[in-house]
A and B are shown apart, each in its own frame.
Chain A
Amino acid sequence: VSFLRRSKFEEGGMMEVSASNNVSLREFGCEQNLLSRPDGSASFVQGDTSVMAGVYGPAEVKVSKEIYDRATLEVLLQPKVGPAGVREQSQEQCVRETCEAALLLSLHPRSSLTLILQVLHDDGSLLSCCLNAACMALMDAGLSMSCLFCGVTCAIGADGDIIADPTAAQEKESRALMTFAIDSTERRVMMSSTKGSFSVQELQECVAVSQKASEKVFQFYRDSVRRRYSKNL
């Protein structure tokens, strides 16, 4: 069962990670401003999983969709093969809720923001790769954000060990799969999407592992943006 809920881990930022969990992530790759038509674009690669994101906005919005005091955010996720289905719609909703929490939408009332995600290759951790590509594209478009966010996926194997950033093969053999969106200011969980069966203890451990992994991702964001602006200086 895959469901969506707000995180309840409000007390304190970081949780303890037990020594047996080593947080090893696959190699990251990222490029910004690679498409000429959208206002912001980015591509994010985690191992073999690759997603490209394009952002348009703030642009004109249809009167039926306009919101009087904030921007209307629309997310479209295109899979690699075939048309988008219900699974893509639920992933779009996860990404949209995260973006709405991080963006300052009240700066652009009665405007539309469109985020289009194209899956180039899926080798596990797809939702977290989509979240990372979305964050980099929103930064590239110059939209005002209150904080950055990143996605981290954890899989719980049959023997109970936690794997961060699993590949497709590891996801298939896992007993539970969880994706968390973590914010950059206080390392809190903004969105969680879980599948499978697990105990409360395991959930808390996965959150701790994700928070630790998010630091590497945010450092990678900083290095990528620094590299991009060093060219123009």
Chain B
Amino acid sequence: MFSSLKEKIGEVLLPGDEFVFESEDTIFLTDNVKPERPVCGPGLRQSGNRLVVSKSGVLRHKPPHTFWMDSQQWRYVPAKAETVIGIVTSKSGDIFKVDVGGSEQASLSYLAFEGATKRNRPNVQVGDLVFAQFTVANKDMEPELVCIDGSGRANGMGVFGGGGLLLKVSLGLVRRLLAPQSDIRSDLEQLFPCELVVGMNGRIWVRASTIQQTLIISNLLQSCDTLTAPQRREQFRKLQKGGL
């Protein structure tokens, strides 16, 4: 059904490239066959039976009919249910204003932490890092963050402790790190133990046992953006042999 799309999977497409779907020629009254509609992810827009590419990148596919454009980007646009690392910029009344790297600052209520009540306020100061997820994130409204999941548990979210280093990387690298079978993560695991928090807004927080190791990992992660896979493995191998 989506043959014209499927033959372009893995190819680089540009904004303005269009795909048209053929509609079914005959409709069988006896079958319960619903026409399949493609599910458009980021970078694709649908109007009627036409699918138009709106961002340059590589076309990806997940069966049965999900398509999206895998593009390289630095600027983050908030999206619902994504976990991000934010920096608290101000405290006004009952809410914190958090900078997530988007076009607007997000708001985080002080009650949206595990075990927080009106008497038991969370210990969050201006300048702290928080790991939170979006409950409201669309183009028309101010984004809202929470540090608890649906059942009220923290689930890894909340305020960061001291130490560590915050880096800014591209969104593509963050997605590669969070993918289920990630080469970069498995290469990192063989280096030395470290704590890594990956926010989908392109921010990564690293903490290893010594400052030198922390700096090595942060330099490696930042260079992963520009290195190809063989070059990256070469770098990792050099470091392992060097035994720093």
Contact = CB atoms under 8 A, between A and B. Distances in A.
A112 interface: yes
B75 A148 contact: no
B75 A60 contact: no
B52 A146 contact: yes
A57 B77 CA distance: 10
B106 to A, nearest CB: 12
Interface in B83-139: 102-104, 139
Nearest to A69: B140
A226 B12 contact: yes
Nearest to B16: A147
Q: Interface residue tally of chain B, by bracket? A: 20 to 34
A112 B58 contact: no
A222 B14 CA distance: 7
A142 B12 contact: no
B2 interface: no
Interface residues of A, number: 38
Contacts of A144: 15, 43, 45, 54-55
Contact of A148 (B16, B58, B72, B102): B16
Given A108-B139, A141-B75, A221-B14, A229 B228 contact: no
Interface of B: 12, 14-16, 18, 43, 45, 52, 54-58, 71-75, 77, 102-104, 139-140, 172, 228
Interface of A: 33, 39-40, 56-61, 104, 107-112, 139-148, 183-185, 221-222, 225-226, 229-233
The 9 A-B pairs with the shortest beta carbon distances in the complex, nearest first, are A142-B73, A111-B103, A147-B16, A145-B15, A39-B75, A144-B54, A58-B103, A226-B12, A184-B16
